[in-house]
């Protein structure tokens, strides 16, 4: 109940005659204390995107050209990374289970197939863990090397780089159906290697733009390798 009274006091102190939370305290740019950290309005600038902007960024992430960094120069967004990762989690869990279903039905047609819920857990941990931890690690490493890196830009870039895995996982299943070819292992490997390369190249190009220094080349190369390792892990864990 004391908590309730504190809450009432806080609400009354903040209460303004006009509308909701996203409009109030736009001038409160407090990112340096707990109030800024916990209040919703300090994150609103990172979601200030329209549908066309997001679609545009997604398209430019599939074709690894230099354009992406210029597109997010002014306003890196966090909408893309969050929901691309969520979509990827869903796709991996759903299609991974569908894959085990097909395999089961082919090997023993009358057997019992069970939905493996652990795919959801693994997908969520791997994808969100990768999308959050790897950019953060690179941020700290780049700061250590003296380069000025922006954490939100790194999150944004890595998040969009994961997008290419979504059509890749879909096509691992439905591409063979389209062309009436049996989904063989070689197809899956080809698709995953293509997707992994595209994604790694995207990360490499954008990281090179961010760093612009040659003595951090091992760092950039390791980012490339990590992205490729993620692709391999996805293939081996979810689609084998």
Partner 1 sequence: MSYGDTIPLHPSSQSDIDEIENLINAGAHSATVLPARAPSPSRASIPVSHSPFPLPPYQKMPPSSSPTPVVSSVPAAAATTTTAPGGSSRIGISTDALESPPDTLTEPVFDTVKRDLTRIVSNLKLVVFPNPYREDPGRALRDWDLWGPFFFIVFLGLTLSWSASVKKSEVFAVAFAILAAGAIILTLNVLLLGGHIIFFQSLSLLGYCLFPLAVGALVCMLEGNVIIKIVVVSMTLAWSCWAAYPFISTAVNPRRKALALYPVFLMYISVGFFIIAID
Residue ranges that bind partner 1, judged by CB under 8 A: 1, 4-5, 8-9, 11-13, 15-22, 40, 43-44, 46-52, 54, 79, 82-83, 86-87, 90, 94, 97-98, 101, 112, 114-118, 120-121
Distance CA 78, CA 219 (A): 24
Q: How far is the CB of 61 from partner 1 (least distance, A)?
A: 16
Nearer to partner 1, 115 or 140 (CB): 115
Task: Please name the residues in contact with 115: beta carbons below 8 A apart, sequence gap of 6 or more.
Answer: 97
Distance CA 109, CA 142 (A): 54
Structure tokens at 200: 């790694």
Nearer to partner 1, 15 or 73 (CB): 15
Nearer to partner 1, 16 or 106 (CB): 16
Nearer to partner 1, 4 or 182 (CB): 4
Angle at Cα 62 formed by Cα 60 and Cα 64, nearest 5°?
75
The greatest distance separating any two alpha carbons of the chain, rounded to the nearest whole angstrom, comes to: 67
| Backbone region of residue 218 per phi and psi (left: phi > 0; alpha: psi in -120 to 50; beta: other values) | alpha
Q: How far is the CB of 141 from partner 1 (least distance, A)?
A: 29
Residue 187 buriedness (CB in 10 A; 0-12 / 13-18 / 19+): middle
Q: How far is the CB of 13 from partner 1 (least distance, A)?
A: 8
Q: How far is the CB of 103 from partner 1 (least distance, A)?
A: 15
Nearer to partner 1, 120 or 141 (CB): 120
Q: How far is the CB of 14 from partner 1 (least distance, A)?
A: 10
Q: What is the DSSP string of 168-220?
A: HHHHHHHHHHHHT----HHHHHHHHHHHHHHHHHHHHHHHHHHH--GGGHHHH
Nearer to partner 1, 114 or 215 (CB): 114
Q: How far is the CB of 96 from partner 1 (least distance, A)?
A: 11
Structure tokens at 82: 């969050």
């Amino acid at each position: 109940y004391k908590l309730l009274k504190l809450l009432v006091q806080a609400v009354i102190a903040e209460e303004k005659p006009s509308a909701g939370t996203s409009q109030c305290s736009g001038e409160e740019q407090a990112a340096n204390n707990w109030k800024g950290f916990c209040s919703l309005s300090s994150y609103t600038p990172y979601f200030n995107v329209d549908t066309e902007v997001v679609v545009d960024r997604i398209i430019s992430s599939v074709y690894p050209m230099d354009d992406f960094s210029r597109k997010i120069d002014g306003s890196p967004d966090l909408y893309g990374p969050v929901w691309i990762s969520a979509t990827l989690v869903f796709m991996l869990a759903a299609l991974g289970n569908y894959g085990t279903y097909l395999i089961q039905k082919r090997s023993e047609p009358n057997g019992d197939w069970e939905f493996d819920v652990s795919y959801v857990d693994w997908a969520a941990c791997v994808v969100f863990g990768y999308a959050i931890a790897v950019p953060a690690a690179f941020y700290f490493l780049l700061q250590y090397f003296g380069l000025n890196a922006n954490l939100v830009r790194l999150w944004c870039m890595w998040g969009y780089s994961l997008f290419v895995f979504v059509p890749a996982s879909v096509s691992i299943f439905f591409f063979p159906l389209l062309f009436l070819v049996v989904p063989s292992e070689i197809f899956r490997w080809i698709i995953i290697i293509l997707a992994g390369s595209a994604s790694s190249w995207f990360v490499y190009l954008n990281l090179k733009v961010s760093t612009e220094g040659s003595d951090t080349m091992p760092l950039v190369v390791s980012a490339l390798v990590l992205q490729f390792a993620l692709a391999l892990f996805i293939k081996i864990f979810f689609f084998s």
